[in-house]
Structure 1
Amino acid sequence: MADEVATAVEAAKTRFLTGENFYAQHFLGAHQSSQGYVFRVWAPNAQQVWLVGDFNDWDDTLPMTVSSESGIWEVTTKLPKEGDLYKFKVRQQDGREIFKIDPFAIYFEKRPGNAAVVHTIPEKKWRDGLWQGRKKRSNQFKRPLNIYEVHASSWKHHEDGTPYSFADLTRELVPYLKEMNYTHVEFMPLMEHPLGRSWGYQLIGYFALSSYYGTPEEFQDFVEACHLNNIGVFVDWVPGHFCINDDTLPYYDGTPTFEYTDPDRANNVRWGSLNFDLGKPQVQSFLISSAMFWIEMYHLDGIRVDAVSNMIYRDYDEGPWTPNHEGGNRNFEGYYFLQKLNAVIKLAHPEVIMVAEESSSETKITGMIETGSLGFDYKWNMGWMNDVLRFFEMDPLFRQHHFNLLTFSFMYMMDENYILPLSHDEVVHGKKSLMHKMWGDRYKQFAQLRTLFTYLITHPGKKLTFMGSEWGQFLEWKFDEGLEWVDLEDDMNHKMQHFTQTLNEFYRSEKALWELEGTWDTIEVIDADNTADSVLTFIRQGKTKKDFLIVVLNLAPVERQSFAIGVPYPGTYQEVLNTEMVEFGGTWTKHNDVCESLPIAFKQFDQQIQTIVPALGTLIIRPEQINTRKAKKVSK
């Protein structure tokens, strides 16, 4: 038996060195054994490594031995017990001695300390089999995807100012997600990080749920509760760069270990961090093992990979850069690592959704790797977000001259599989909240926020909004405080929340908004040229001819009477959503009457309807009784 274990460990080491061990946490880090605990750490150029912790008064009485071929140090001891703190004392290549964290630790003490905790996560008997089975059988691209983005420690705080743990979030956030009709929740990074101000994007523990948020077991219970309520869970992950704190990952053994050897490539000037050497096999094993650990240990439904542009372009950062061997700016190591990451995850878990936060258009991000893509399922559409928010911040007097900001996305919306993000990045650092961005007085701001959300829901692409936006929080997001839940005592905020809840339910129930997504058949523009009135009209189409919705967005503070809209078939049409209804915070007490089509040509259609479109409002109109055998378009 001992020989079999030794053989397995040696095989694991070999795979780690070649970049093919995707479960490296099973032998690196701290593990129970028949002789107590075995600790292993990769530090190939260290002169000596010791295990130190509560169990030996942090003294160097437990020297580790090294396998010269692998650079992995090891010690077995009966001294530690569950809950003890530990680190590795590393005598680096130049003789400097420094305490370092365990890169493979699965739990850390609460900050400001960063010692690892000897912790064994008990095997959980999951109860989400129905969710998992349904997920494997369904086509995620043809299903609704509406994500509520959350920063775990600032969604709510207790009365004493302490943040909610995942035990608290299970009791309150899960029912809220269900009540608000979101399909998924996405958390900003949950992995261990030393500074809350980084929002979790400066990581030290790639296998550890931050103890600031609770225990690993509590997060497992949260995910299970989400699945039992038909809600998926995504987590942000940062494989491009890591925290620069000296006692964590940087220059672990005194030489470039996790980072690039070239200091210009290693140093991330923009974020004050260090870039992973994504071409190093051991780093590939480390990072892919981290992703697999989170997917399998916590039954995650998706991972959003942060800062992909920084990983695939050498010149993305603000510091000096050198061209690649072809003379260009492509970071081939990052490019091929991401393809490998997605290939490994899709082979093991084809149903897991991989999302890229990426801001350029020079690289194909989504689609099959065989076609030259990075292999992600979705890409955040940062262009749509920036253009649309610029438009909504603009005085309507000037919108007619910049209508392309609203419509330009129609030119490229099928180039990738997109998620349309109204994310945390847009409601912080002086950018103002979504509500505060809107032009005009408070009433007009709410009216436009409802129209913005309706455009988000009806535009092709999956959806993401940041917490607090759903009721129009006016203040910017603060990472160290809870959301302004007191806002909901105000009637307008309460009605805005009700509107978002209604809109989310509408999105989930209307197949025309997602059934043909990813194909041009899902949309037909009626009129994107009415810049004078600042009104945009288009159709979202389902699989059957009669299953479609007409969307009418009025971006001017002027009500449009007897407004003409081209329709594909003769018959009657019924308004099914009006953003200016009193129940949502508007002034309309009843819907428009049913419209009878008129045989009057409108652009490519030989029929039109006429209705009233509210100022700064949006209508969604559904066919009621139509004749689909009639010609749809005007003869040329």
Structure 2
Amino acid sequence: MGVPQQPGSKPEHALTGLEVPSLFSDFDLYLFGQGKHYHIYEKFGAHPREVEGITGVNFAVWAPNAAAVSVIGDFNGWQHGATPMQLRHKELGVWECFIPGLGPGTLYKYAIHSRFNNYAVEKTDPYGFAEELRPQTASIVTDIQHYRWHDEQWLQQRAQQQRLSSPISIYEVHLGSWRHIPERHKEGAVEEDRFMTYRELAHALATYVKEMGFTHIELLPITEYPYDGSWGYQATGYYAPTSRFGPPEDFQYFIDYMHQQGIGILLDWVPSHFPKDGHALSYFDGTHLYEYSDPRKGEHKGWGTYVFDYGRSEVCNFLIGSALFWLREYHIDGLRVDAVASMLYLDYMRDSGEWVSNQYGGREHLEAVAFLRQLNEAVYGQVPGTITVAEESSAWPLVSRPTYVGGLGFTFKWNMGWMHDMLEYMHLDPIHRRYHHNNITFSLMYAYSENFVLPLSHDEVVHLKGSMLTKMPGDLWQRFANLRAFYGYMWGHPGKKLLFMGGEFGQWQEWNYAQSLDWHLLAPPSDPHHAQLQDFVRDLNRLYRQEPALSMLDCEPEGFSWIDCHDSDNSVVSFIRRSQQTADTLIFICNFTPVPRHGYRLGVPFPGEYYELLNSDDIRYGGSGLRNNQPMPSGPIYWQSCPHSILLTLPPLATVVLKKRPGSDIIGLEEENLSYE
């Protein structure tokens, strides 16, 4: 091994004698030590470069407790010590070398010999841009700068598309199971399924999402992961898109094409924990480098994973660099940060005696809180126009408020409370719902304490929880009617929308990561209710995007008011959604029983004629067809705290959306008013 190099020196390549200038300046090393080098992935990892006319690859890795590190690969027979690295900076433990003659496509790992316990191990590159297809684990030298992007128009308007006042309707997707491509062996005897590639998915998924009217897709983690059954939530490659669906360039194409079709991309990203797989981050240099050494802080026993050491600036830099990498280099539009609650509390999923308190004796994980704030400040400062979303299920305050007022700095927070309350309510037989009316109304007590996303996510359709359709009570017709009524209420409720794939057409089976969605349900001779439910979700998205009242004041209390939240006897709720223009006002009425209600009096905010914009009981959606086909004129009868009221028919298990007809303000004819007396 070469003599350890000090900052500013030029390591001499062991094989050629070539003096190679380091990729790290002293300032780079200083920033990394401070945890604030936000382009760190341009330094660490494997980077093709040219030195004095000689092409090769520069390798760099952080291993402060290593006695020796070498690069091994198919180019040197995977022999430890054959291609040694030099210690670039002793205190930080940065190792580096340049290997002439190598280029993109080279397989490699780091052979690390620790200063402790005679520990020797082969590790995947933490900053590697690509990895082999599982179960192989080598990193692959990759140049991601060659792809030519064509999404300039999207990037220019992205900030406008992702404002708090913008309609954001998210289709959550697991790429490995959205749709498979059936194949037949050459012999023609055996059929099998295969994953779609990134490029195939780009065209098929963009067409479908655009047709359905969703504004964004959210991808379950595509950061490289070894075990299919983790769905990507136990990542080993924080800078590498999974090779299951193609090389990095194809993933760039996927993002690029989606953007050209006007579709935003959110990525599930997991800085909360990582798996114990020996080839990756765990016990990296013979010490607990990336994870806390104390198991009371460093292990998620319930998940069988390690917790990142947020008290170590280099680890925080690794994670923040990863977040910025996806936003910058792959043009991702936002990150949904997984398991934030597990980061915020030291006693998360731990019994008494299994956790250690913070310096003040509390359960708050102060280092993780500081990390999350730094993360969000870095995202908004470095990549304006992108967003971050916290999957956070506790009552931690100010999750989606700026850090300068004491918040965590996220753009949005998942409204887990709304989700659990509503799923519990919808699961009830309608005869019992009158006793659980609070499940519908309670969310408005805190709806404006955060900027919320309303999620019906993958977590709710696995582990014997049933599909969205099977959660609904009743016979076949009632199940679909319940689900349509629920979706109608969800799209009317304040908050951005998220629906996991398959929920839009009422899949019967629980989600299975290993197989395709049941697309055959949409084709004859299958029950037409599935296609009709799909039509309803499409029309909900159309309504959501065209009506400003559903998004303009989405995060402002002025955008919502109850008409009646007390009609528990009938299990009916009614409310108003507003924009800054009075003419945009919408009225939602939800009947969560199978009893149609004729002559139901409803208070309205303005005089005029009201008409149906949407009715989930419409025959074309599979409903009974009980509609209000004629305009409903208001009368000057004070009702439900409103100065005017109308009479309408409430269809069974349905959501109805009304709007005042433009120019119909003057209704004062006596014969019309007499009908209200």
Do both share a fold (TM > 0.5)? yes
Partner of 2:99 in structure 1?
Answer: 77
Is the CA contact (8 Å cut-off) linking 1:52 and 1:86 kept in structure 2?
A: yes
* Aligned mates of 1:5, 1:524 — CA distance in 2: 65
* Aligned mates of 1:249, 1:147 — CA distance in 2: 32
* Aligned mates of 1:167, 1:297 — CA distance in 2: 18
* Aligned mates of 1:242, 1:449 — CA distance in 2: 36
Corresponding residue to 1:310 among 328, 339, 342: 342
Is the CA contact (8 Å cut-off) linking 2:467 and 2:507 kept in structure 1?
A: yes
**What are the superposed Cα offsets for residues 440-470 of structure 1, whole Å, 9 maximum, x if unpaired?**
0111011111111111111000000000100
Partner of 1:156 in structure 2?
Answer: 179
Is the CA contact (8 Å cut-off) linking 1:22 and 1:286 kept in structure 2?
A: no
* Aligned mates of 2:618, 2:471 — CA distance in 1: 22
Correspondence 1:286 to 2:318: yes
Shift of the 42–510 alpha-carbon distance from structure 1 to 2, 3 Å rule, reads same
* Aligned mates of 2:152, 2:217 — CA distance in 1: 19
* Aligned mates of 1:473, 1:171 — CA distance in 2: 23
Deviation at 1:14, TM superposition (A): 2.2
Deviation at 1:589, TM superposition (A): 7.0
Corresponding residue to 2:472 among 428, 432, 438: 438
Is the CA contact (8 Å cut-off) linking 1:239 and 1:287 kept in structure 2?
A: yes
Partner of 1:513 in structure 2?
Answer: 550
Farther-moved stretch of structure 1 (65-74 vs 110-119): 65-74
Correspondence 1:551 to 2:591: no
Is the CA contact (8 Å cut-off) linking 2:636 and 2:644 kept in structure 1?
A: yes
**Aligned partner letter, 2:110:** F
Partner of 1:593 in structure 2?
Answer: 630
What is the 5 A alignment of 1:136-155? 136-137=159-160, 140-155=163-178
What is the 5 A alignment of 1:325-364? 325-364=359-398
Shift of the 65–139 alpha-carbon distance from structure 1 to 2, 3 Å rule, reads closer
What is the 5 A alignment of 1:85-234? 85-92=107-114, 93-137=116-160, 140-159=163-182, 160-234=192-266
* Aligned mates of 1:139, 1:180 — CA distance in 2: 19
Q: Provide the secondary structure at the position in 2 that maps to 1:113.
A: coil
Deviation at 1:10, TM superposition (A): 3.2
Q: Which segments of 5 or more consecutive residues in structure 1 lack a partner in the other structure?
A: 631-636
* Aligned mates of 1:392, 1:628 — CA distance in 2: 40
Shift of the 162–306 alpha-carbon distance from structure 1 to 2, 3 Å rule, reads same
Farther-moved stretch of structure 1 (67-76 vs 478-487): 67-76
Partner of 2:642 in structure 1?
Answer: 605
Moved segments of 4+, more than 6 Å: 1-4
Partner of 2:658 in structure 1?
Answer: 621
* Aligned mates of 2:135, 2:431 — CA distance in 1: 52
Is the CA contact (8 Å cut-off) linking 1:47 and 1:95 kept in structure 2?
A: no
Is the CA contact (8 Å cut-off) linking 1:314 and 1:329 kept in structure 2?
A: yes
* Aligned mates of 1:252, 1:79 — CA distance in 2: 28
Deviation at 1:5, TM superposition (A): 5.1
* Aligned mates of 2:644, 2:397 — CA distance in 1: 42
Partner of 1:64 in structure 2?
Answer: 85
What is the 5 A alignment of 1:181-580? 181-318=213-350, 320-489=354-523, 490=526, 491-580=528-617
Q: Which segments of 5 or more consecutive residues in structure 2 lack a partner in the other structure?
A: 1-7, 11-19, 183-191, 669-677
Shift of the 199–139 alpha-carbon distance from structure 1 to 2, 3 Å rule, reads closer
Corresponding residue to 2:69 among 49, 59, 63: 49
* Aligned mates of 1:628, 1:252 — CA distance in 2: 75
Correspondence 1:14 to 2:52: no
Deviation at 1:551, TM superposition (A): 0.3
Partner of 1:634 in structure 2?
Answer: none
**What are the superposed Cα offsets for residues 62-100 of structure 1, whole Å, 9 maximum, x if unpaired?**
122213122011222125342121111111222121111
**Aligned partner letter, 2:474:** G
* Aligned mates of 2:645, 2:23 — CA distance in 1: 75
Is the CA contact (8 Å cut-off) linking 1:153 and 1:165 kept in structure 2?
A: no
The count of residues paired between Structure 1 and Structure 2 equals 630
Partner of 1:633 in structure 2?
Answer: none
**Aligned partner letter, 2:388:** M
**Aligned partner letter, 1:148:** Y
Larger Rg: 2
**Aligned partner letter, 2:98:** T
**What are the superposed Cα offsets for residues 482-538 of structure 1, whole Å, 9 maximum, x if unpaired?**
100011022111111111111111111011101111111101100010000000000
* Aligned mates of 1:618, 1:5 — CA distance in 2: 67
Farther-moved stretch of structure 1 (120-129 vs 230-239): 120-129
Aligned sequence identity (%): 39
* Aligned mates of 1:629, 1:359 — CA distance in 2: 48
Farther-moved stretch of structure 1 (224-233 vs 618-627): 618-627
Shift of the 305–7 alpha-carbon distance from structure 1 to 2, 3 Å rule, reads closer
Shift of the 377–444 alpha-carbon distance from structure 1 to 2, 3 Å rule, reads same
* Aligned mates of 2:606, 2:470 — CA distance in 1: 41
**Aligned partner letter, 1:265:** K
Q: TM-score, normalised by structure 1?
A: 0.97
Farther-moved stretch of structure 1 (7-16 vs 429-438): 7-16
Q: Provide the secondary structure at the position in 1 that maps to 2:303.
A: coil
Is the CA contact (8 Å cut-off) linking 2:70 and 2:111 kept in structure 1?
A: yes
**What are the superposed Cα offsets for residues 115-144 of structure 1, whole Å, 9 maximum, x if unpaired?**
101121233332211111122356611110
Is the CA contact (8 Å cut-off) linking 1:513 and 1:542 kept in structure 2?
A: yes
Q: Provide the secondary structure at the position in 1 that maps to 2:164.
A: helix
Partner of 2:46 in structure 1?
Answer: 30
Q: Provide the secondary structure at the position in 2 that maps to 1:434.
A: coil
Q: Provide the secondary structure at the position in 2 that maps to 1:537.
A: strand
**Aligned partner letter, 1:499:** F
* Aligned mates of 1:385, 1:101 — CA distance in 2: 39
Farther-moved stretch of structure 1 (531-540 vs 60-69): 60-69
Farther-moved stretch of structure 1 (182-191 vs 595-604): 595-604
Deviation at 1:283, TM superposition (A): 0.6
